[in-house]
Amino acid sequence: MITFNFDSKIALVTGSSRGIGKAIAKALLEANCQVIGTYSRDEKSARLCRQDFEIYGNRFHLVKSDVSDREQAKALFAQAEAYFEKPISYLVNNAGILNQGDFLALTDEQWDNTFAVNLKGPFILSQELMKQTAHGAAIVNISSVGGQIGGNKAPDYAATKSALISLTRSIARLGADLNIRSNAVAPGWIATDIFDDDQLNALQQEASKAIPLKRMGTSEEVANAVLFLLSDTSSYITGHCINVNGGMYFG
């Protein structure tokens, strides 16, 4: 069994107050990382996250931030260095917007908001990391199987997640001279707290028929893939997308 030790380095995990982002932050903390996390609006989830992570003391710092805003993004790097007294070494672009609905009812505003958070945010934060890190860092972008096969219920979301894989590969090339690796993880159907019990039961039944491994995945399984890509275990891997989808898509 592989265990990870990140030597108290600093990770920035966006959208870390719940769901997959929270699982990633927890896994990093358990692997001797210090984490600055972000949330955008959900104060209840932020409060519960802080309570759950009290056991990690000052190794976890959660801040409210709009990741698509350049000045707020810059402030995250400054806050991290002031709080932890060292720069950010790892970036996990997890924050995202997903609103399902009728394509013909999709508004310009929703399209723009989805692209701002899901794609502009990772662009800004990756760019700022490359500006502020002299040598050596790792980026993981959280994409989606929807970005690989398309999505009729959330085409704006699917479009951003497809573009995010392309951005991941571009940054892998651009960051290579600085030994900055850039990879992505594309989750499939993941059981998280964004679903209520009835929704989860229905999805689990559908998953047993639609997914080769016959179940939904867990946030922890996504987190394991993220830690692998951030760690030195994957030191010769960049520009790659790992599918965590139970066999829904093999590409």
Q: Are 203 and 216 in contact (CB under 8 A)?
A: yes
Which residues are the active-site residues? 157
List the one residue out of 94, 93, 97, 95 whose CA is nearest residue 113. 97
Residue type, 35: V
> 245 is written with which tokens?
């989808």
Q: Are 55 and 48 in contact (CB under 8 A)?
A: no
pTM, two decimals, is 0.96
The CATH number of 10-242 is 3.40.50.720
DSSP code for 231: S
Show pLDDT as tens, one digit a residue, over the chain (251 residues).
578 999 999 999 999 999 999 999 999 999 999 999 999 999 999 999 999 999 999 999 999 999 999 999 999 999 999 999 999 999 999 999 999 999 999 999 999 999 999 999 999 999 999 998 768 899 999 999 999 999 889 999 999 999 999 999 999 999 999 999 999 999 999 998 777 888 889 989 999 999 999 999 999 999 999 999 999 999 999 999 999 999 999 98
